[in-house]
Homo-oligomer: A and B are copies of this chain.
Amino acid sequence: MTPVRKLVLLGTGLIGGSFALALKRVRLVQHVVGVGRNPDNLARAIELNVIDVATADAAEAVVDADLVLLATPVGQMGALMQRIAPHLAPGCLVTDGGSTKQDVCALFRENLPEHLAWCVPGHPIAGSDLSGAAAAQYGLFEGRRVVLTPLAETDPASTARIEALWQQCGAVVHTMQAAQHDGVFAAVSHMPHLLAFAYMNTVLARADADTCLEFAASGFRDFTRIAGSHPDMWRDIALANRSALLQDLKSCAAQLQQVIALVEAEDRDGMTDYFAQASKARVAWGNRKR
């Protein structure tokens, strides 16, 4: 497999840094340029050998690159694409690590219309509470899933190359439509985050909230772990995947009304059936993952 000659990370944090490290380990990248706005973070990235060179100038960085990874929050990607567009060599692959895909696909179309054959939108499923270049690690993508959502205009050879690189990082790669991706992740990631925020605020609204939190135990701890997530990041994700997310939140609100009705009616059989359906599916899921 041909190594990447010059990889440019637009955003030198956990995802970008771990991608660079993983490719370095298997000798599939020769030169890594890190772009970022935080000089301390970039200095740390060089020190840790995550990147070879640092710059704040995305346009200058992508000259001669054969692979560009957009690994910033999705909100910054449009401006970065616009900035690099005039400087990208034909054939330079551009991919991203954003956790919503329909909006990123639209950004590619809007900002790199001449370059779409080499654009491969992607989403590595490898979150962490940590961030920054210092959190980058070789094995982050080992056994993790990466979803690619190529555009109609994407050259299949571009997709195949990005897929192969992720596989070399240890990831299991799936390809699907951007809309399907966003529906799935609204359901299993975005909706539960917003539910966890809503639940947490329900407890906080109680007059005895402090006492409640004092007696909260392991069930609470796990259920609310994602409620500790970064507010701005989740505001952006909620806005980016708004329509799929709203559909799920409304569907969940209806399910919640059903639970309330069952409890209100003291419907023993109805509750048993309802709880058992959820419990059975969750137990099966847990067993499948092991």
Contacts and interface: CB of A to CB of B under 8 A. Distances in A.
Interface string A179-206: 0100111011101111111111111111
Main SS class of interface, A: helix
Contacts of A212: 184, 187-188
Contacts of A195: 195, 199, 223, 256
Contact of A251 (B202, B245, B277): B202
A211 interface: yes
A160 B174 CA distance: 61
Contact of A239 (B187, B201, B268): B268
A234 B285 CA distance: 20
Interface stretch (A17-25, A52-60, A130-138, A257-265): A257-265
A215 B185 contact: yes
B248 A253 contact: no
Interface in A209-258: 211-213, 215-232, 234-235, 238-239, 242, 245-246, 248-253, 255-258
A239 B263 CA distance: 7
A33 B232 CA distance: 57
Interface in A269-286: 271-272, 274-279, 281-283, 285-286
Contact of A278 (B204, B255, B276): B204
**Ordered nearest first, which 7 A-B pairs have the shortest CB separation?**
A231-B275, A200-B278, A231-B276, A228-B282, A197-B278, A188-B216, A202-B252
19 contacts: A127-B217, A188-B216, A188-B219, A193-B219, A195-B195, A197-B259, A197-B274, A201-B278, A204-B278, A205-B255, A206-B248, A222-B223, A235-B271, A235-B272, A242-B263, A246-B264, A249-B256, A249-B260, A249-B263
Given A197-B278, A199-B255, A201-B277, 16 more contacts: A145-B217, A183-B206, A187-B202, A189-B219, A192-B199, A192-B219, A194-B259, A198-B278, A199-B252, A223-B225, A227-B279, A235-B268, A235-B275, A238-B263, A239-B263, A246-B263
